[in-house]
A and B are shown apart, each in its own frame.
Chain A
Amino acid sequence: MTEREIMEYDVIIVGAGPAGLSCAIRLKQEKPELMVAVIEKSSEIGAHILSGAVIEPGPLDELLPGWRDNPPPICIPVEKDEIWLLSQQGRRRLPTPPQQKNHGNFIVSLGAMCAWMATRAETLEVDIFPGYAASEIRFTDDGAVGGVIIGDMGVDREGQPKDSYMQGIEIHAPITILSEGVRGHLSKQLIKRFELDKDSDPQTYGIGMKELWRVQPGKSKPGLVQHTAGWPLDSHTYGGSFIYHMDKDRIAIGFVCGLDYQDPEFMPFEAFQQMKNHPMIHAMLEGGEILSSGARAISEGGYQSLPKTEMPGALIIGDAAGTLNIPKIKGTHQAMRCGILAAEHIAATSTAEGFDARLRESAVVKELYKVRNIRPAFYKGFWRGFIRAAIETITAGKLPMTLSIHADDSSLKKLDGYTPPDRKWVDRDLPPRDRLASVYFAATEHEEDQPVHLQILEPDICITRCVEEYDNPCTRFCPAQVYEMVEEGTAKQLQINSANCVHCKTCDIKDPYQIINWVTPEGGSGPNYQNM
């Protein structure tokens, strides 16, 4: 193995999402002489990111004043908010709680917004490199984080170099910013290595699935923001849908489902599809066509689950740490604020040390603190959660107690002795027919001849314990049908269709044995989301 080529920067940022890009931009604004680079595993900025999304523009005003004169390509001011409680056929309008009021906010495509932010960053001379995956951390001799190592490219399925083999370079930097988003694979390693979560609750997540539709003319009411709760979920599964009406007859529709669900047979994708077939929503979508689809895990633990965000030589920011405000279902403004704060800290001190304390004093964590008890309130079921949420909202989180957050991977009930609720699901007729049809719209692409990026650390468990205890839930919780149990003669075997993967990280999170380890595939692989 030849020595890797080295590139040096003052700051290397892993992940070109709102946190990473905000950090890059602010760094250059504060200290233009700094050499800053952002690396991103997707082939193009925005291709791996998706969100509803309704954003609060505050941090944008702070970071890029005047942005409103030259806004991102999709940017629709919110006109109206609606919250609906659904039953199988019916619906009831609920009052909009204060944190869900969106006046002054914008419906955007987060992917398009990141691409737009990236061009701003490039104007400030940030070096942005899409198509390169950071596969390992580079450690200095004293055990600090000293940069990253880019994954080798052109490696075959057995790990052998192909003709196109290109060794990944090392990027050395005194400060590394991990802004990989939820359950980043490098962040996961660092949190473990530096025990960053020893004083916090486990993180808890949801899976967010989204489709972008072009509907029949007149059906989309630009600026209308709708959320639903209730059917098709049961009262012990947290989640609901979002329906954001955009321009050009487009509707962004999605479903978020807490990954602490209990039913091993539950399929989040199916719940999403059921929701679309509710009469109110079916009427909007019928006759339309799907433009794009995708999925990504979201962090729901908030305040209690926030790990320590600094370590020697590195910071973890944005949803890689878990800054999303779940009662608001908004994370972008938080991620941006966190990125801006990290940049200001580094510009002022040139070190990672002290950032965590700063973050805890900041508006980011204050916001999380205020709503900290809402998510765990739902552990006791929908109605108790709803009431507690109302109380917490009215008292602005000032009640002197903090509920704990539980881990998702231990929440699945075993088949034996568990009776699933009667879901009242219906026969449905809207596309996509199934997960394979859905994944088509994610335009996900992986070079077939490369190592499988979903590592099963103890494969025997799948066909011995898991099949008995949980009936292989990976075959259901993955929104892209990556995992399948196939018959090989009389035995069953796990087949991994890694080419379908949309990099959502749900499997890494929800697997009850924690034997699935998601690592990054070859740079440029994965979804190619457009306007998501």
Chain B
Amino acid sequence: MKILVGIKRVVDYNVRVRVLPDGSGVDTDGVKMSVNPFDEIALEEALRIREAGNAEEVIVVSAGGDECQQQLRTGLAMGADRAIQIQTSESLQPLSLARAFLKVIEREDPGLVILGKQAIDDDNSQTAQMLVALWDRPQATFASKLVLNGDSAAVTREIDAGMETIEVDLPAVISVDLRLNEPRFVKLPDIMKAKRKPLDVISLEDLGVTVEGNVNVGHHAPPAQREKGIMVEDTAQLVQELKNRGLI
């Protein structure tokens, strides 16, 4: 089967993100951009499945301007066989992105789609769930373990209460959580090989998807600064204060 892996170009997780003084956005001037860390984990899982002999092809897909080809090449260097860029200069909201991705699914007919659980820039955590709703297939989000069993997969999910295991019939969409695996390092020679692997560019128009969005982002503010609170004299006062605030 084929596995599609969605990857997103995001501000590197090490960057100290700050809001522009005019509140119009976040300062991305000169900042390092990388593959969304959860997407690396998604790709790593797909590669392991292929290496175990359960898939023939791993395809990485990203939506954006030509800059995202850098991240697609990283995906190819990690080991993906092919890359697809959904070319658009618009900023896509999750529903449009899911619709575009669905078109790619219709073209490629994968057995499994693996995405990161959220992008570390907008922290929406919507794309996987939306994609699978439009596709009308099963979803398994926050996966920390994935076991394939022929036509189905047993997925263990990290949820608030503990670990839940569900079984999904393939094809399905999995969104991955941090503890699923540790992504491999890229070998230098593979960076060279990646340059020769196929990278197809399809425009949003070619896919027949119109961009629309109903959630409009406006002013950006830095987080509220925590102010100094009160000092108490002794433990008894501390306990009283906690009780007064309903914390104990």
B25-70 CB contacts (< 8 Å) to partner A: 29-32
Residue numbers in B under 8 Å from A443 (CB-CB)? 14-16
The answer on a CB contact under 8 Å between A169 and B32 is no
Complex contact B30–A109 (CB within 8 A) = yes
25 contacts between A and B (CB under 8 A): A5-B189, A7-B189, A43-B12, A43-B32, A73-B29, A74-B30, A115-B30, A129-B191, A150-B188, A153-B185, A154-B185, A164-B183, A169-B187, A169-B188, A169-B189, A214-B21, A249-B21, A292-B16, A445-B14, A528-B12, A530-B15, A530-B30, A530-B31, A530-B32, A531-B29
Taken together as a complex, chains A and B put the C-alpha atoms of A409 and B182 apart, in Å, by 42
Alpha-carbon distance A249/B21, docked complex (angstroms): 10
**Is B179 an interface residue, CB under 8 A from the partner?**
no
Residue on B nearest A290 in the bound complex, by CB: B16
Q: Which of A215-241 contact B (CB under 8 A)?
A: none
B192 at the interface (CB under 8 A from A): yes
B192: A residues at CB distance < 8 A? 7, 127
A contact set with B: CB distance below 8 Å: 5, 7, 43-44, 47, 73-74, 109, 111-112, 115, 127, 129, 131-132, 150, 153-154, 162-164, 166, 169, 171, 214, 249, 289, 291-292, 440-441, 443, 445, 528, 530-531
Contacts of A153 in B (CB 8 A): 185
For residues 190 through 228 of chain B, which have their beta carbon under 8 Å from a beta carbon of chain A? 191-192
Contacts of B18 in A (CB 8 A): 289, 291
Q: How many whole Å from B143's CB to the nearest CB in chain A?
A: 18
- B25 to chain A minimum Cβ distance, whole angstroms, is 14
Give the CA-CA distance A153 to B188 in the complex, in Å. Answer: 12
User: CA of A164 to CA of B187 in the docked complex: distance in angstroms?
Assistant: 12
Q: How far is the CA of A109 from the CA of B31 in the complex (A)?
A: 13
Known: A5-B189, A528-B15. 9 other contacts (CB 8 A): A112-B30, A127-B192, A150-B188, A164-B185, A169-B188, A443-B15, A528-B12, A530-B30, A531-B30
**Central interface residue in A43, A440, A441, A530, by most chain B CB within 10 Å:** A530
Across chains A and B, which 3 residue pairs bring their CB atoms closest together, nearest first?
A: A166-B185, A153-B185, A528-B14
Minimum C-beta distance from A10 to chain B (A): 15
Q: Which of B171-186 contact A (CB under 8 A)?
A: 182-186
How far is it, in angstroms, between the C-alpha of A140 and the C-alpha of B134 when the chains are bound?
61
Q: Are A5 and B187 in contact (CB-based, < 8 A)?
A: yes
Q: Interface size of B by Cβ–Cβ distance < 8 Å?
A: 20
CA distance in complex: A530, B12 (Å) = 12
In the complex the two chains form, what is the Cα distance from A112 to B188 in whole Å?
24
Give complex CA distance A440, B18 in Å: 14
Query: Is B21 a contact of A47 with CB atoms below 8 Å?
Result: no
Q: How many Å lie between the Cα of A111 and that of B29 in the bound state? A: 13
Interface centre among B14, B31, B185, B189 (most CB of A within 10 A): B185
A127 to B77, alpha carbons, bound, how many Å?
14
Complex Cα spacing A440 to B183, Å: 26
Q: With both chains docked as a complex, state the minimum distance between the C-beta of A209 and any C-beta of chain B, in angstroms.
A: 18
Q: Which of B12, B31, B182, B189 contacts A163 (CB 8 A)?
A: B182
Q: Which residues of A contact B15 (CB under 8 A)?
A: 443, 528, 530
Q: Which residues of B contact A289 (CB under 8 A)?
A: 18
Instruction: Identify B187's interface contact among A44, A111, A166, CB under 8 A.
Output: A166
Task: Determine the chain A residues whose CB is within 8 A of the CB of B14 once the complex forms.
Answer: 43, 443, 445, 528
Q: Which of B183, B184, B187 has the most CB of A within 10 A?
A: B187
A contact residues around B184 at 8 Å (CB) = 164, 166
- Does the CB pair B30–A441 fall under 8 Å? no
Q: How far is the CA of A530 from the CA of B14 in the complex (A)?
A: 11
- What A residues does B185 contact at CB under 8 A? 153-154, 164, 166
Q: Smallest CB–CB gap between B192 and chain A, Å? A: 7
Q: What's the Cα separation between A459 and B198 when bound, in Å?
A: 53
Q: Known: A163-B182, A164-B182, A528-B15. Contact between A129 and B188, CB under 8 A?
A: yes
Q: Are A47 and B32 in contact (CB under 8 A)?
A: yes
Is there an interface contact between A528 and B32, defined as CB atoms closer than 8 Å?
A: yes
Contact: A132 with B32, CB < 8 Å?
Answer: no
Bound-state Cα–Cα, A115 to B32, Å: 11
Cβ–Cβ < 8 Å partners of B30 in chain A: 73-74, 109, 111-112, 115, 530-531
Chain A contacts of B31 at CB under 8 A?
A: 530
User: What are the residues of chain B within 8 A of A164 when measuring CB–CB?
Assistant: 182-185
Q: In the complex, which of the residues B12, B21, B188, B192 has the most CB atoms of chain A within 10 Å of its own CB atom?
A: B188
Chain B residue nearest to A111 in the complex (CB): B30
CB distance from A4 to the nearest CB of B (A): 11
A457 to chain B, nearest CB (A): 29
**Nearest chain A CB to B224 CB, angstrom units:** 16
Q: Provide the residues of chain B in CB contact with A150, threshold 8 Å.
A: 188
| CB-based contact A441/B16 at 8 Å | yes
Complex Cα–Cα for A132 and B128 (A): 33
Q: Which residues of A contact B21 (CB under 8 A)?
A: 214, 249
Residues from chain B with Cβ under 8 Å of A132 in the complex:
188
Docked pose: A501 CA to B191 CA in angstroms: 28
In the bound complex, residues from chain B placing their C-beta under 8 Å from that of A249 are 21
Task: Give complex CA distance A127, B184 in Å.
Answer: 22
